[in-house]
């Protein structure tokens, strides 16, 4: 072991002494076991290769995910490890943050290379959603809903996804025409059509459009179209976990489109993943594993940012429901189902690196929602000059 690695090992193990919330057992490549913390979530981290430490020192939490994908470390309780990490970020001696040069490089990639112009949005969306419908079918619910469910006692995933759709539909105006911005594989469009709405759904993913067209069979119109290119007015607009892919630079255009497309007396309902208001100023100045490797061009808003952008566009918030713990539960179910289907996913041609990346993403999201680092909200908007 080199002197540099020895120094990093000493720094790393010393930093873990600061764990105050949770219990972590670390096994080194040599087989030595170290125990940190005394109470709370219990997790184990097996370091397979000390090259993990340079990754962490250079790229912080992004390096942690990259190290997992590369096999530098493993855990049978991945969500637990990430939960302990999130709950102790302030006492880990900076190991969760990238170095200044790496942080700057990642921000430049996010802001310049992955910009959500019309062309950039096509590239960014297809990078995530066009990996293959068969892959998603193996672990999503039968309705192919790729957003948080809303659970009630006794619900399975399919029932909770139906409950989520039903709540959104209950918040709309009486009008029939409905625009869905980011319609995915058509699950909500199908539910809305069954309730008598005349649905126009838009997506940038050819794979999603093909699937949605087949399932809806003429009961709704599905377009391969950017939200900025839609014309006309609709009695209602629904956009479920699409704002995260817009990018902060384009939030004004997104809310202006909502304003322009929403008919008088209409309602717009957004389901959005958010970060806490108090943490947004820090979050927006950095990158993370999801923006680097999962959702290129993505950016989470906070509640205050949604309200502010809506107000600038001439809209106002009429209601807000938060249910982040339901998203933690949704992600856990997705992760469990994906792990159970690993043999079939492998037979489809997806390799171990791909699967480890998705496992890290899903378990990381479960940890983020479970610890309150992220939330999910349904926000109801109306024209600002309308009362009632």
CA–CA distance, 7 with 54 (Å, rounded to integer): 11
Exposed, middle or buried by CB within 10 Å (0-12, 13-18, 19+), for 198?
A: middle
- Cβ proximity of 140 and 146 under 8 Å: yes
Q: Position of tokens 């594989």?
A: 185
Selection from 284, 326, 324 nearest residue 301 by Cα: 284
CA 293 vs CA 110, 198, 332, 361: distances in Å: 11, 36, 20, 9
Grouping H, G, I as helix, E, B as strand and the rest as coil, residue 95 is: coil
CA–CA distance, 96 with 107 (Å, rounded to integer): 16
Exposed, middle or buried by CB within 10 Å (0-12, 13-18, 19+), for 113?
A: exposed
Q: Note if 374 is an active site residue.
A: no
CA–CA distance, 281 with 274 (Å, rounded to integer): 13
- Cβ proximity of 271 and 376 under 8 Å: yes
| Rg value, the chain, Cα | 22
- Cβ proximity of 236 and 258 under 8 Å: no
Q: Position of tokens 């105050």?
A: 20
Report CA torsion sign: 204, 210, 211, 213.
positive
Selected catalytic residue, list 183, 302, 365, 374: 365
Residues labelled as active-site residues: 365
């Amino acid at each position: 072991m080199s002197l540099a690695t020895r120094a990093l090992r000493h720094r790393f193990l010393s930093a873990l002494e600061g764990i105050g919330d949770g219990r972590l057992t670390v096994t080194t490549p040599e087989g030595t076991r170290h125990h940190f913390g005394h109470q709370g979530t219990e997790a184990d981290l097996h370091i397979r290769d000390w090259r993990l430490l340079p990754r962490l020192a250079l790229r912080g939490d992004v390096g942690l995910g990259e190290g997992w994908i590369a096999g530098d470390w493993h855990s049978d309780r991945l969500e637990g490890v990430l939960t302990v990490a999130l709950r102790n970020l302030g006492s880990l001696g900076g190991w969760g943050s990238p170095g200044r040069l790496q942080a700057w490089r990642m921000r430049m990639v996010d802001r310049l290379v992955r910009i959500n112009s019309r062309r950039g949005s096509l590239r960014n969306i297809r990078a995530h959603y066009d990996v293959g419908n068969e892959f998603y079918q193996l672990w999503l619910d039968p309705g192919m809903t790729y957003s948080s469910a809303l659970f009630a006692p006794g619900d399975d995933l399919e029932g909770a996804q139906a409950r989520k759709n039903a709540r959104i539909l209950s918040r709309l105006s009486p009008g029939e025409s409905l625009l869905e911005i980011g319609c995915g594989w058509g699950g909500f469009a199908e539910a809305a059509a069954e309730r008598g709405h005349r649905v126009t759904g838009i997506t940038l993913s050819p794979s999603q459009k093909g699937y949605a067209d087949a399932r809806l069979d003429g009961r709704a119109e599905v377009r391969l179209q950017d939200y900025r290119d839609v014309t006309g007015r609709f009695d209602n607009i629904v956009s479920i976990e699409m704002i995260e892919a817009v990018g902060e630079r384009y939030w004004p255009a997104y809310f202006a489109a909502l304003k322009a497309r929403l008919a008088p007396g209409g309602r717009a309902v957004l389901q959005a993943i958010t970060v806490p208001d108090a943490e947004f100023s820090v979050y927006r100045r950095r990158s993370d594993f999801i923006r680097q490797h999962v959702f290129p061009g993505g950016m989470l808003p906070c509640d205050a940012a949604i309200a502010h952008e809506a107000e600038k566009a001439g809209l106002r918030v009429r209601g807000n429901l938060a249910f982040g713990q339901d998203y933690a539960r949704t992600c856990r179910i997705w992760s469990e189902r994906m792990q159970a289907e690993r043999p079939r996913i492998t037979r489809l041609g997806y390799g171990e690196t791909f699967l480890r990346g998705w496992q890290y993403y899903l378990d990381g999201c479960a940890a983020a929602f479970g610890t309150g680092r992220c939330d999910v909200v349904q926000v109801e908007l109306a024209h600002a000059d309308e009362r009632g």
